[in-house]
Amino acid sequence: MKVIMHRRNFITFITSSISTFFLNPRALFSKSRKPGLFFDESAQLAGRITVRSNSLRVNEPLQLIARWGYMFISLEDLAHALHLGVYTNEQKKKSVLYIEKDLVTFAADNTFIKFNSQMLQIPLECLWYDNAVWIPLKYAITILDKYTPYSWIYNATQKELRIEETDVNIIGVRISARENGTLIDVFATKRFKEKEVILDIRNRWLHIDIYGAKIDPASIAANQPAGIISRIQAFQMAETVSLSFKLKKEVLSKELVFDPTGNDFHVNLRTKEVIAENREREKLKEELEERKKLWRIDTIVLDAGHGGKDPGAIGYSKAKEKDLVLPMTLTLGKMIQKELPGVRVVYTRKKDVFIPLWQRTKIANDVGAQLFISLHCNSNKSRRPSGFETYFVSADKNSKATEVVLKENSAIEYEASHDLKRYEGVNFILATMLQSDNLRRSQFLASEVQQSLKSKLSKIGMSSRGVKQGPFWVLVGATMPNILVEAGYISNSHEEKLLKQKTTQKKIAEGILNGIKKYKIEVEKAI
Ligand SMILES: [Zn+2]
pLDDT digits (tens, 9 = 90+) for 192-216: 888 899 999 988 999 999 998 988 7
CA 187 to ligand 1 center in whole angstroms = 40
Per-residue pLDDT of the chain (527 residues; tens, 9 = 90+): 333 333 332 223 333 233 333 333 333 333 333 333 333 456 678 888 888 876 667 767 888 998 888 889 999 988 888 888 889 998 889 999 988 778 899 999 888 888 887 777 788 889 998 889 999 988 888 888 877 777 888 888 888 888 877 778 888 898 988 777 888 999 888 888 888 999 999 889 999 999 989 887 777 887 888 889 999 998 888 788 999 999 998 888 888 888 776 788 889 888 865 444 555 666 766 766 666 666 689 999 999 999 999 999 999 999 999 999 999 999 999 999 999 998 999 999 999 999 988 889 889 888 889 999 999 999 999 999 999 999 987 655 454 566 777 778 777 777 776 666 666 555 444 544 444 567 778 888 999 999 999 999 999 999 999 998 877 777 777 778 899 999 999 999 999 999 999 999 999 999 999 999 999 998 887 65
**Of 249, 256, 241, 245, nearest in space to 280 by CA:** 249
CA 493 to ligand 1 center in whole angstroms = 18
CA 488 to ligand 1 center in whole angstroms = 11
* Contact call for residues 325 and 376 (beta carbons, < 8 A): yes
How many secondary structure helices (H) and strands (E) does the chain include? 13, 28
**Global confidence as pTM:** 0.49
In order, the DSSP letters of 396-411 are: ---HHHHHHHHHHHGG
In order, the DSSP letters of 251-269 are: -SEEEEEE-SSSS-EEEEE
Q: Which residues surround ligand 1, an ion (CB under 5 A)?
A: 305, 312, 376, 408
CA 413 to ligand 1 center in whole angstroms = 13
Nearest-angstrom CA–CA distance, 524 and 527: 5
Handedness of CA 70, 74, 75, 78 (dihedral sign): negative
CA 122 to ligand 1 center in whole angstroms = 24
Give bridge partners of residue 51 from the DSSP assignment. Answer: 161
* Contact call for residues 216 and 168 (beta carbons, < 8 A): yes
CA 403 to ligand 1 center in whole angstroms = 12
Residues 6+ apart with CB under 8 A from 504: 457, 460, 462, 488, 498
Q: Write out pLDDT tens, residues 230-263.
A: 999 988 887 889 999 999 988 888 888 887 767 8
Where does 400-480 show beta strands of DSSP type E?
464-470
* Contact call for residues 79 and 97 (beta carbons, < 8 A): yes
CA 218 to ligand 1 center in whole angstroms = 45
Alpha-carbon dihedral angle through residues 516, 517, 521, 527, given to the nearest 10 degrees = 40
* Contact call for residues 191 and 82 (beta carbons, < 8 A): no
